Amino acid sequence: MNPNDFWKPFEVEIASFEDLQKILGQVMEKAVANNRTFAWRGQSNASWGLHASLPRRLRLTLGRTVLEDDLSKREGQILAEVHRWGLHASHETGRLSILSQLAMLQHYGAPTRLLDITFNAWVGTWFAVEEKWDNGQTKYDDVDARLFAVDVTDRLINEQDHRRAWEDELTRPWTSDNPELVGRKEWTTTVFAWKPPSLDGRIAAQNGGFLFGGVPMTEKPDNKRFQLPKTSTGTEKWTIDEVRQATCIAIRPNEFSTAKGAKSSTGALYSFRIKAIAKAKIRDRLERLFGYRHSTIYPDYTGFASYGTPELKSW
């Protein structure tokens, strides 16, 4: 199943910077009117699924859809290896929590289940239209991009008394080692968000955070079915395997509505397709208005190595 088919029935098209301004203004109005919190994620290619790096790589390795047991097992192996290398603690901070270990792994490019997000809509847009290179040649500028807005109201573990402690846990809260922290049914049918402390300058520059959760399953804690509609009418449903091909977390695509009284629900995802023809113009406006460029979004040596070196090859 092409993930593009999963998003298309609910997406809104953005063909210019003016379209972008209008859409972001409408989302912000919804947030203020209904006291909602949104997180944002931009992807260079609109046809990509919503997959973190670890499940994406596991799918290539296994040659099939990844299940939560697959992901949890490999995640445990990675964390055990981090411990063997002695990277789970430092002289400055002492023992790092599991979430902090995963955040650091994510920062340096190791595969994790974390999905990068930002709490700044303009930064999220920048990631969608970001200029990228492959061996000195630009890539993705000729394909549509996608901008996701996710309603994370009541999903931020930092703002929940019963989940704030996850930030300091030395074992994974979502495994059978800690069943009292989150049950398997809730873990695999719910999305969680985390706004970490400024572990480094990049997180601060990006107003960054993470989405995470279990690989989608079919049964909620109340024993009701977890199903996702194929269209806004909701008459047809995707199979759970099709859902897993499109997203590694239990997130529900919704049609964005500006109608008076229209509300969003926790975990709702809105999808905006940014046309390829608009990418360069939007990128230019973001730099002129906010100073967003690779050096300000990735203000560290890792950022220079990852994004500066490919650009230098084009000189």
pTM higher than 0.75: yes
Cα–Cα distance, 174 to 113 (Å, whole number): 12
Q: Which residue, among 232, 236, 37, 259, has the nearest Cα to 151 in the 3D structure?
A: 37
Instruction: List the structure tokens of 141.
Output: 């500028």
Asked whether the beta carbons of 191 and 216 are under 8 A apart, the reply is: no
Beta bridge partners of 162: none
pLDDT one digit per residue (tens) for the chain, 315 residues: 788 999 999 999 999 999 999 999 999 998 998 899 999 999 999 999 999 999 999 999 999 999 999 999 999 999 999 999 999 987 777 899 999 999 999 988 999 999 999 999 999 999 999 998 877 788 999 999 999 999 999 999 998 888 999 999 999 989 866 666 788 999 999 999 999 886 667 777 888 999 999 999 999 999 999 999 998 887 899 999 999 999 999 999 999 987 655 666 777 899 999 999 999 999 999 999 999 999 999 988 888 887 767 666 666
